[in-house]
Amino acid sequence: MSDTDPPLVEMTGVTKKYSGIVALSNVDFTIRAGEAVCLAGENGSGKSTLIKILAGVEPRNAGDIRFSGVAQGALSPRASADAGVMVIFQDFSLFPNLSVAENIAFSTQLSAQGALYRKAEARRIAAETLKRVGVDISLDARVESLPVVHKQLTAICRALAMDARLIIMDEPTTALTEREVKTLLGIIRRLKADGVAVLFVSHKLAEVLEVCEKVVVLRNGEKVAEGPATEFDSASLTRAMTGRDVAETPPDPLAADAPVLMKVAGLSKDGVFHDIGFDLRAGEVLGVSGLLGSGRTELAKALFGLVAPDTGTITLNGAPIPLGDPLKAAAAGIGYVPEDRLTEGLFLDQSIQRNVAVGRLDAYDRGAMLDLAGLWGEARDWLKKLSVKHSDPEAPVRSLSGGNQQRVVLARWLARGPKVLILNGPSVGVDVGSKSEIHDIIQALAHEGLGVIVISDDLPELLATCHRLLVMKGGRITDEIIGTDTDETDLGHRLAS
């Protein structure tokens, strides 16, 4: 492959409008065989539109697309697939009830147009592609029983089985642990050597920069930056994505006499976490970090009663809290903002104000009947306090942006006047601008004397918000660090080692 060959994909002046609103404006983009490119941008920057156009799912309004130098007319999913453009969506689009072999070979057999399912051939194709990628997954395992990284590899193999020449990966690393990311990057290198091009689409790209040749940044539908990957780091990426410098300031130091609010001792759950103990002081922001699978999310859920520990105690202001009962935990003054906002946090089709008020129904229960005026009034006050941008409190919460949605969940818990607030991944899927605003809210809450626990693997976020950090590994707390004593590199090492 040389640079004189026409690029695998060449887009020039591609524009896309959705009912008059410009989603992509005059964008040029090229990718060559064996090349890896990062496509970065915040939510709504036009990344997904670009993928959809390349995949032939959405038609473009203007612009040229060439595959290996050949000009393309209107694309269809089939035309893109024939050219070897394969998208691996964030959810992998696999069939949980079918075997690995069948998942890998399904598309191939479909496009062969045969009426019969050839099981032996499916296994052969699957075994070959798995070998090409260099991983060992049982062909007969049901996909639902696989760990996330194996699901992702199965999806990659499916694309390869279809002779993929360009694999587009949508948010490939969000669900992976650091070690799994390393595995993935190893495989990407192998694919590149094989002449396959890879396009990473993400708003969290620092981890994949090392395998990429090029970075392209979109903002508001326009290409705002492009250059060799070596010229970017996470700070400059953020700047390009948001168009401004987002300076994170570390939190104000905690008062030396701040009283202990919550005490956790000897908390264990077989096979999940062991002998967890810590104190949380009033006004303190405590970070809990660890890779996925370290037990951090389970610990967070256990503190809120969603997971029942086998042994241990949790006390709040000296009073013990029954384990494994979210109702009692909430009544005692613990709040929990879940990681997966869309499935665990929000009632998407319900109104914004209902999503806030759902936490206060019992408080406004006047015997037989709800004080609706009071309930909605309070919900609207909280929306204002957290400056949730909305047109109508009765509009479905689905209509809000990620950052505003997260504030709605926060408002629900703050309305209950909690003593301790547990935030699991407070800025996952939130654009960079809203992220720092959410960090400001966390600091303000701590100032008011709340104890805040932030569970995250976003190191800059932890450094910007936390007084103290606990590092979890294999279900145990392995490290305790004062926030000012560390930096991103040091913390990264402590997490991974």
Q: Which residue ranges make up the site for another protein (CB under 8 A)?
A: 77-78, 81, 89, 91, 93-98, 102, 106-107, 109-111, 114-117, 158, 269, 272, 298, 301-302, 306-308, 326-327, 329-331, 336, 338, 343-350, 354, 357-359, 361-362, 364-365, 368-370, 372, 396, 398, 412
- Cross-strand bridge partners of residue 370: 365
Residue 91 or 485 having the CB closest to another protein:
91
Measured distance CA(484)–CA(278) in Å, rounded: 19
Here the tokens at position 28 are 């040029």
Q: Are 407 and 426 in contact (CB under 8 A)?
A: no
Rounded Cα distance between 72 and 446, Å, is: 56
Q: Smallest distance from the beta carbon of 129 to another protein, in angstroms?
A: 15
Closer Cβ to another protein, 248 or 270, answer by number: 270
Report the nearest approach of another protein to the CB of residue 114 (Å): 7
Contact 157, 149 (CB under 8 A): no
Q: How far apart are CA 320 and CA 313, in angstroms?
A: 7
Give the nearer residue to another protein in terms of CB position, either 13 or 114.
Answer: 114
Burial of 337 (0-12, 13-18, 19+ CB in 10 A): buried
Helices (H), 227-371: 234-242, 296-303, 326-332, 352-357
- In the bound complex, what is the minimum distance in angstroms from residue 90's beta carbon to another protein? 12
Q: What is the nearest approach in angstroms of another protein to the Cβ of residue 305?
A: 9
Work out how close the CB of 181 gets to another protein at its nearest, in angstroms, rounded to a whole number. 23
Q: Which is nearer to another protein, 319 or 369 (CB)?
A: 369
**CA atoms within 13 A of residue 298's CA, in its CB half-sphere:** 22
Of the two residues 176 and 357, which places its CB atom closer to another protein in the complex? 357
Could you give the CA distance from residue 453 to residue 472 in angstroms, rounded to a whole number?
14
Do 69 and 8 contact (CB within 8 A), yes or no?
no
The DSSP letter of residue 259 is: P
Using the minimum distance from each CB to another protein, give the nearer residue, 365 or 440: 365
Q: Look at residues 435, 408, 340, 346 and name the one whose alpha carbon lies nearest to residue 43.
A: 435
Which C-beta is closer to another protein: that of 81 or that of 197?
81
CB of 123 to another protein, least distance (A): 14
CB of 345 to another protein, least distance (A): 6
